[in-house]
Chain A
Amino acid sequence: MNSESQPIFDLEYALGVFDDEAEVLQSVIEAFFEETPKELGRLEQALASADLEGVERYSHRMAGSAGMIGATRFRSMAREIEGVAKGGALDGVETMTTRLQTEFAAFLELARGLDWSSVGKASKP
């Protein structure tokens, strides 16, 4: 499926992964916000030095954690980059990396804008 057709934030899916523990999910999402800019920096560096293995590694890693927390569109974009690098080329990866940064910002805005007190087990009587 094309990344554009995926939701930016699939909260229902993420709650399923975290067994409806919204507080734990929220803290892991915050860890994602802290770690991902560093990973994006590593990805850019790897790309600048045409380091195929590095591009594959960092995009693979970001896709893994994004998949857990429902950052679906980000995950899909990271997987696309990983796939291209795995194929032995970096064609189009620069544009894709820029889009990955845009998807990160979009996910951050949605997740931080959420009223977490109304989410998951904590919100239920």
Chain B
Amino acid sequence: MNTENVHANKVSDGASDICVFVVDDDPVMRIAIDKYLSAKHIRVVAIADGFDVLVALEKNQPDLIVSDIHMEKLDGLSLLEGLRNRAETKDIPVLFISSDSGSETMERARALGAKYFLIKPFQLSALFSLIRKILKQTSK
């Protein structure tokens, strides 16, 4: 795992113990989401590739994974497949963020059980609202 690309922000005021993995191969996107969600008291673990999620899972149990789809080593859809095949990770909700809204990708994602999507570019407040909605649905 590339430690430069994986870091956790501690919750400073204890307002929330929510942990979200943000998986995107674009460092600027990771920084933008990390800074915004951290200000909303969400603990963010920023990860550069789907492959590194498997390593990060050894240390953290996220309430939600926000993931890009197209990544070099392990793409978002393969990551989802891997998560669903493991008893301890099969119920972690996954929200896909991608500029690829093509029907082929969407169909494949849905076939794998993906439910949540946000098309890039998006407003960060929309991401935050959707995260809250998903966490409510999944009873966090």
Contact = CB atoms under 8 A, between A and B. Distances in A.
Interface size class of B (residues with CB under 8 A): 10 to 19
Interface string A9-47: 000000011110100100110011001100000000000
Given A17-B121, A17-B123, A65 B35 contact: no
A64 B125 contact: no
B121 A68 contact: yes
Contact of B121 (A19, A21, A31, A64): A64
Contacts, number: 58
Chain A, interface size category, equals: 20 to 34
A44 B26 CA distance: 17
B29 A68 contact: yes
Contact of A21 (B25, B39, B99): B39
A48 B124 CA distance: 36
Interface of A: 16-19, 21, 24, 27-28, 31-32, 35-36, 57, 60-61, 63-65, 67-69
Given A17-B121, A19-B123, A28-B32, 18 more contacts: A16-B123, A18-B32, A18-B36, A19-B124, A21-B39, A24-B35, A31-B27, A31-B32, A35-B28, A36-B28, A57-B72, A60-B70, A60-B99, A61-B25, A63-B99, A67-B99, A68-B29, A68-B120
